[in-house]
Chains A and B, each alone.
Chain A
């Protein structure tokens, strides 16, 4: 109906300008707070606490980083979180890939019923307390198993992996392999896994971020301070303002402790967030 008139293209240009404008504002809304955190972490404690810091460090100082680096608990937590994240992600990948592959096969006898069993757990769960009592009965309270086992598989991720197998592993490849006498185990390990690079990368990212960032299960199941993951230690310092064993200073005074927490806050935020942000950015870039 409408013909391509100069007026039409003019409105397209206006439309473009409007969209670029909106996206630019959005870009600023996302980036400025992040820059503010960075700038604060590089400013002196005084400037930061007076709220003087905008987008550029005021009274440039690395004191805050120096303090975090000498704070042993943070590094213990860092190490714990790295172990938990690696252990958990390995378990997640094993469970997810094997289940997803079996369920992706049309000729898997019983597949539909099993799929139903998986999907139902997305819709309904026993709840917090039955889960807690299960950990207690399994005698894994206060161990890292309680952080890793209850989140063994995300059904959502499993479905994504299943769809990936269904769409990228050619049926002909499986038939040809079968003709050659290749059984399902061999086919899975020798053909499917080597072809699954992209999905493994995505799953690793999702699972690793979840493990690294979660604090809830540790709050429920871990009481021993030596086993605390980083997020619990962060919560104690950042939100509850609890600074316990300062290596450099025997701070008995509550006010001194709070000031320390205040000084460390921004550099802690940066140090704790960098691994996953870098990881996420890299995976996004590859894909």
Chain B
């Protein structure tokens, strides 16, 4: 039916929907697409007083400067290492938690554990980092004292470059495992109870039910989240890392986002900072497209 109606009539017919979406559209153009255009300054020697139109174009000079700078390898390696570990370690735990909670018979226990594990998510990054710093305080930190009581040496964990990544990842897991499991629990609640009953009649053990019913149910959700997470691999959260940084651990805690903030904004190297950020975005986008293709080919689940 709609095929026979000319496009301008169909457009006219949905004008009210266009009006409804207009505010969001304006927002999108001004606050999301305009900065993308602004990112062109990565190819310029940007001069704040003359703007994008007046600044001179320098091609890839800013990118070359970053690739040749002595921090490049370290910043890139830190970013990749922290993100990959976060992904590899952070990805399976929420799934395991959801599977365990789903297999429980008691609803009260299930609700209680679910609610408690979900609470730390609501703690702000500033507070979270404070709790970490207090717990690892060289003299009074409760974790420091516990580790010492067990006979291991632990002095200033926050100042130890080797300890930075484990602290970052474990605390992240503590804070988000419950929250991240919600989406899997929701997916599991869509399983038809008849399947479990049929499996019980066939003599399946609890573990077999998880293996043959629950895990296949979760795969599409898991794949989509995995792709999205890989797409964010390089855009590592600035907030927590920046707060956890200090001069002692900088060699393993300086990542692209913190570097862009310091060099690009605080030291006002606008073009250079933009180029570094753009480098980051492009790698993210390519990784996402790549993983999406691979997933679609081998398992049929993709973002589009």
Given contacts A129-B277, A235-B126, contact A134 B20 (CB under 8 A): no
B-side interface mostly:
helix
Distance of A264 from chain B, by nearest CB (Å): 11
Given contacts A12-B206, A22-B100, contact A128 B231 (CB under 8 A): no
**C-alpha gap A125/B36 in the complex (Å):** 6
> Could you tell me how many residues of chain B have their Cβ less than 8 Å away from some Cβ of chain A?
93
Interface assignment of A74: CB less than 8 Å from any CB of chain B? no
Cross-interface CB contact of B205 among A15, A48, A185, cutoff 8 Å: A15
B243 and A23 within 8 A (CB) = no
**C-alpha gap A138/B11 in the complex (Å):** 32
Given contacts A23-B109, A33-B131, A125-B35, contact A183 B16 (CB under 8 A): yes
CB nearest to B200 among chain A residues:
A4
**C-alpha gap A72/B151 in the complex (Å):** 44
CB nearest to B16 among chain A residues:
A184
Interface assignment of B25: CB less than 8 Å from any CB of chain A? yes
A31 and B116 within 8 A (CB) = yes
Distance of B62 from chain A, by nearest CB (Å): 11
Q: Which residues of B contact A134 (CB under 8 A)?
A: 30-31, 34-35, 38
A-side interface mostly:
helix
Interface assignment of A101: CB less than 8 Å from any CB of chain B? yes
Using a CB-CB cutoff of 8 Å, which residues 180-204 of chain A contact chain B?
183-185, 188
**C-alpha gap A273/B144 in the complex (Å):** 24
**C-alpha gap A82/B261 in the complex (Å):** 27
Q: Which residues of B contact A132 (CB under 8 A)?
A: 265
Using a CB-CB cutoff of 8 Å, which residues 104-145 of chain B contact chain A?
104-105, 109, 112-127, 129-131, 133-135, 137, 139-142, 144-145
Cross-interface CB contact of B20 among A53, A102, A121, A125, cutoff 8 Å: A102
A238 and B126 within 8 A (CB) = yes
Using a CB-CB cutoff of 8 Å, which residues 1-30 of chain B contact chain A?
2, 7, 10-11, 13-14, 16-21, 23-25, 27-28, 30
Q: Which residues of B contact A22 (CB under 8 A)?
A: 100
Annotate A197-217 by CB proximity to B: 1 below 8 A, 0 otherwise: 000000000000100111110
**C-alpha gap A42/B28 in the complex (Å):** 47
Annotate A8-35 by CB proximity to B: 1 below 8 A, 0 otherwise: 1001100110011011001101110110
In the complex, identify which listed stretch (A168-176, A248-256, A274-282) lies at the interface while the others stay far away. Answer: A274-282
Distance of A30 from chain B, by nearest CB (Å): 5
Interface assignment of B90: CB less than 8 Å from any CB of chain A? no
Distance of B175 from chain A, by nearest CB (Å): 9
Interface assignment of B281: CB less than 8 Å from any CB of chain A? yes
Q: Which residues of A contact B243 (CB under 8 A)?
A: 235, 239
Given contacts A215-B239, A281-B119, contact A239 B35 (CB under 8 A): no
B130 and A265 within 8 A (CB) = yes
**C-alpha gap A111/B13 in the complex (Å):** 13
Q: Which residues of B contact A117 (CB under 8 A)?
A: 25, 28, 33
Distance of A278 from chain B, by nearest CB (Å): 9
B264 and A109 within 8 A (CB) = no
A51 and B273 within 8 A (CB) = no
**C-alpha gap A128/B7 in the complex (Å):** 40
- Residue in A40, A105, A118, A129 with the greatest tally of chain B CB atoms within 10 Å: A129
Using a CB-CB cutoff of 8 Å, which residues 238-261 of chain B contact chain A?
238-239, 243, 257, 260-261
CB nearest to B38 among chain A residues:
A130
A153 and B28 within 8 A (CB) = yes
CB nearest to A276 among chain B residues:
B122
- Residue in B33, B38, B260 with the greatest tally of chain A CB atoms within 10 Å: B38
Task: Return the 9 tightest CB-CB contacts between A and B, nearest first.
Answer: A126-B35, A130-B38, A127-B277, A51-B140, A99-B24, A213-B124, A184-B16, A130-B35, A102-B21
User: With contacts A23-B113, A127-B273 known, what are 11 further pairs, Cβ within 8 A?
Assistant: A2-B202, A22-B100, A26-B117, A34-B119, A51-B139, A109-B13, A128-B265, A130-B39, A133-B48, A152-B31, A265-B134
Sample 6 A-B pairs with CB under 8 A, ordered by A number.
Answer: A23-B113, A36-B135, A124-B285, A209-B122, A215-B125, A231-B126
